[in-house]
Amino acid sequence: MSIGSRRSRERRRRTGQVALRVAKWLFMLAVFVGLGYWSYQGGLDLARSEVTVLEERLDRLSADARNTYARNAQLEGELRQAREDNAALQRRYERDVPRGEAAQLFALAQSRIGAGVARDRIEQIMRDAGPIRRCEGRPNSRRFAVAYGPRAPENAGIDLLDGLVHVLMRAENQADDLARAATVVVTVFGQEPVTLTGLPQRVPVTLGNAELQLNVTSEIRGFGTAAISTCG
């Protein structure tokens, strides 16, 4: 009986040891499983948090990209409009601001207005201006005395066309050959005097839209002849 009892106790002891070992392994396995699950859950939560942060960042970047695209589109539209406005302004400048000969004409008109000439008169002159018509009708001739000496008297010369054209012939000495030594001064109303040397002289005279021909000669010693063409 005692031998059987010892064997029974030995079996129970061994069975308890095995059960204890199994329980220890199961406990360790449970611990590892728990740690693994906790790590997995923590990693999953961390991954979810990072994904959330990344999604929020992606949303912000997408919104910024949309805003940037919209701003770029607005800036391109403003640039396009600015270019169109600049081109229109350039066309208006080229149309309204005179250049070249037109600028010279404008400057001349401005200077005459600045000198006291009425704007209405300048405008009327420009409206009346037209192509030059050459007048070669029968000339109107006048004879006048030659002025001798270093200075010509104030009443020397002759007026033509009611004073619109004045012709002066001058020489130093009465013995001078007028063909070489005569000085002819032609003054047209509103224009600068034209000084010529020698005879004969053929001078174009422009009055308004008409161009007349003035011939200055000397057929009699001491006298000159001025002949200007007419338009009729």
Q: d(Cα 226, Cα 166) in Å, to the nearest integer?
A: 10
Residue 202: which pLDDT band, with cuts at 50, 70 and 90?
very high
Give the model confidence (pLDDT) of 165-195 as tens digits. 999 999 999 988 999 999 999 999 989 999 9
In the DSSP assignment, the letter for residue 151 is: S
Q: pTM of the full predicted structure?
A: 0.52
In the DSSP assignment, the letter for residue 147 is: E
**pLDDT of 17 strictly over 80:** no
Report the pLDDT value the prediction gives residue 178, as an integer from 0 to 100: 94
What integer best gives the mean pLDDT of the chain? 86
Report the pLDDT value the prediction gives residue 3, as an integer from 0 to 100: 60
Report the pLDDT value the prediction gives residue 2, as an integer from 0 to 100: 58
Q: Which helix (H) or strand (E) element contains residue 191?
A: none
**pLDDT of 18 strictly over 80:** no
Q: d(Cα 176, Cα 164) in Å, to the nearest integer?
A: 30
CA angle (157 as vertex; 155, 159 as ends), nearest 5: 95
Q: What's the half-sphere exposure (Cβ side, CA atoms, 13 Å) at 139?
A: 16
Angstrom CA distances, 12 to 1, 23, 87, stand at 16, 16, 108
Instruction: Please measure the distance between the N-terminal and C-terminal CA atoms of the chain and give it in whole angstroms.
Output: 176
Q: d(Cα 203, Cα 228) in Å, to the nearest integer?
A: 9
